[in-house]
C-alpha cells in the first residue's frame, strides 16, 4: 500500500466514528431512520479498517527491520 493511500485511509478511519455519532444525533433530533443500525455499521467498518491499517503498519515495520538488518550485516562483512 502506498504512503498516500495509507494516509487517506487513516484519515477516513479516524473520521468514521464522528460520522456515526453525528448521524445518530440527527436521527434523534430529526427522526431519521435506522440510527442505531447505521451507527453500529460505521463503527464496525471503522474497526475493520483500523485493524487492516495496523496490519499494514506491522508489515511495513517488519520489512524496514529486515532491510536495516540486511544492510547492517552487509556493512559488517564489507567493513
- Determine the straight-line distance between the first and last CA of the chain, rounded to whole angstroms: 35
- Domain map (residue ranges) of the chain: 3-78
Task: Indicate the length of the chain as a whole number.
Answer: 79
What confidence tens digit (pLDDT) does each residue in 24-57 have? 999 999 999 999 999 999 999 999 999 999 999 9
What confidence tens digit (pLDDT) does each residue in 10-26 have? 999 999 999 999 999 99
Contacts of 11 (CB under 8 A, 6+ apart): none
Residue among 16, 22, 76 at smallest CA distance from 48: 16
Residue 79: per-residue pLDDT = 53
Instruction: Give 1 or 35, the one with higher predicted confidence.
Output: 35
Amino acid at each position: 500500500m502506498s504512503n498516500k493511500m495509507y494516509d487517506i485511509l487513516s484519515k477516513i478511519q479516524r473520521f468514521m466514528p464522528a460520522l456515526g455519532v453525528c448521524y445518530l444525533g440527527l436521527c434523534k433530533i430529526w427522526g431519521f431512520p435506522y440510527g442505531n443500525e447505521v451507527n453500529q455499521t460505521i463503527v464496525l467498518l471503522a474497526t475493520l479498517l483500523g485493524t487492516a491499517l495496523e496490519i499494514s503498519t506491522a508489515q511495513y515495520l517488519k520489512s524496514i527491520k529486515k532491510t536495516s538488518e540486511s544492510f547492517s550485516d552487509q556493512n559488517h562483512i564489507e567493513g
